[in-house]
Amino acid sequence: MLQQTQVKTVIPYFKVFLRNFPTLQALSLSNESKVLKLWEGLGYYRRAKNLLITAKILVNEYNSKLPKNLIDVKKLPGIGKYTANALLAFTYNHPTIAVDGNVKRVFSRILNKNENTIDFDKLIKVNKINLFKTNRNSDFVEALMEFGALICKPKKPLCPACSIKSMCKYFKSNKKFTQIKTLKVKVKNYNIFCYIDKSKNKVALTKKHNLGFLDKFYLPLIKETLDNKKIKNWKFHSNFKNSISNKKLNINLYYKFSLKIPPQHRWFSLKKNNEFIPSFTKKIFKQISKIT
Ligand code: SF4
């Protein structure tokens, strides 16, 4: 839940999730629609789907335990190298390091090198005797992340208070490296077309779209467009921006009152639905509910 999502956003979801699934077994016996419903509003829904599949695999194939080696952990859906290393350190105290943005920054500052020029796997391997002297590796991994977040911060690191400044080349150097800026994400334009049944307060949604995000989720008719021109025969409602995963969307929202809807669309209430609806669609509901 915490991937790409702030702690304060996650906490209420986490509590409800644990009430519903107090054990790995309970989660493994659930189904995708229930898990998605509990995840509704949290975004990045692939995480929820992968979590459910992983729970089923762990219960059925690993006697409800996390495998103990990196290769097997990385085979679980949704678990990449970073998460696998974090899990092995936190669960089994294994001598591994989860290299996130904070950890990369700490190492690159200690070496006073741009992080894009560092092979972190090699760095950890070469220095493993010193790095893994502790038998509290789980704490060490977490401490490294926290150190990057709280002391060796992206802007204005707290060097005078830092306990490792004597070994830090960035601190000692008169020629401090600067990080190469990452490329800006390009904004894409989309038109959204809402068919609205005014008398019943309903809007037509479909899973038939091919956006490369929110695939297989209910959305109104949506089309990518290269220009920002207004569309004939549809009423323009509003323009708004949205970010999904690492994509930035510039959206023109259109609507029409109609009892006829295109194939592969279904009516959904603007107020309450038992089925899972992504927050992207809910935001659109909120906007158009003002006109019904
Ligand atoms: S001395 Fe400054 S730059 Fe170096 S590790 Fe500490 S906080 Fe980071």
**Full-model pTM:** 0.72
* Ligand 1 pocket member 152 (CB < 6 A): yes
pLDDT at 209: 87
Residues 260 and 237: their CA atoms lie apart, in Å, by 20
Structure tokens at 9: 């956003």
Our CA angle for 147, 150, 156, nearest 5°, is: 110
Mutate to test the pocket of ligand 1, among 102, 104, 105, 110 (most ligand atoms within 8 A of CB): 110
> What stretches of the chain adopt beta strand conformation (E)?
187-197, 202-206, 221-225, 235-244, 247-257, 265-269
Q: How far is the CA of 283 from the centre of ligand 1 (A)?
A: 42
By most ligand atoms within 8 Å of CB, the mutation choice from 114, 146, 159, 169 for ligand 1 is 159
pLDDT digits over 79-116, tens only?
A: 999 999 999 999 999 999 999 889 999 999 999 999 98
Instruction: Give residue-wise pLDDT tens across range 187-213.
Output: 899 999 999 998 889 999 999 988 888
CA angle 259-262-266, nearest 5°? 70
Position 120 scores a pLDDT of 95
Looking at this protein, which amino acid is placed at residue 138? S
Q: Does 131 sit in the ligand 1 pocket, CB within 6 Å?
A: no
Distance between Cα 179 and ligand 1 center (Å): 15
Measured from the Cβ of residue 188, the count of other Cβ atoms closer than 10 Å reads 14
CA-closest residue to ligand 1 atom 8: 152
In the chain, % helix, strand, coil (3-state, to 5) comes to 40, 15, 40
- The answer to whether the CB of 151 is under 6 A from ligand 1 is yes
Is the minimum distance from the CB of 158 to ligand 1 under 6 angstroms? yes
User: How do strand 187-197 and strand 247-257 relate by DSSP bridges?
Assistant: parallel
User: Which residue has the least CA distance to atom 2 on ligand 1?
Assistant: 159
* Per-residue pLDDT tens digits of the chain, which is 292 residues long: 988 888 899 999 999 999 999 999 999 999 999 999 999 888 888 899 999 999 999 999 999 999 999 999 999 999 999 999 999 999 999 999 999 889 999 999 999 999 989 999 999 999 999 999 989 999 999 999 999 999 999 989 999 999 999 999 999 998 888 876 666 778 899 999 999 998 889 999 999 988 888 888 899 999 998 876 778 889 999 999 988 877 889 999 999 999 999 999 999 999 888 888 888 999 999 988 877 6
* 150 in contact with ligand 1, CB cutoff 6 A: no
Among the atoms of ligand 1, which is closest to the Cα of residue 165?
1
CB-ligand 1 contact for 109 (6 Å cutoff): yes
Can you give the pLDDT at residue 148? Answer: 93
CA distance 277 to 286: 13
Are 205 and 218 in contact by the 8 Å Cβ rule? The answer is yes
**Can you say whether the dihedral through the CA atoms of 181, 3, 223, 239 is positive or negative?**
negative
State how far the Cα of 222 lies from the Cα of 192, in Å rounded to an integer: 4
Long-range contacts of 28-31 (CB under 8 A, 24+ apart): 28/52, 28/55, 28/56, 28/58, 28/59, 28/60
Structure tokens given for 93 = 């105290």
Centre of ligand 1 to C-alpha 177, Å, is: 13
Both structure tokens of 153: 């911060």
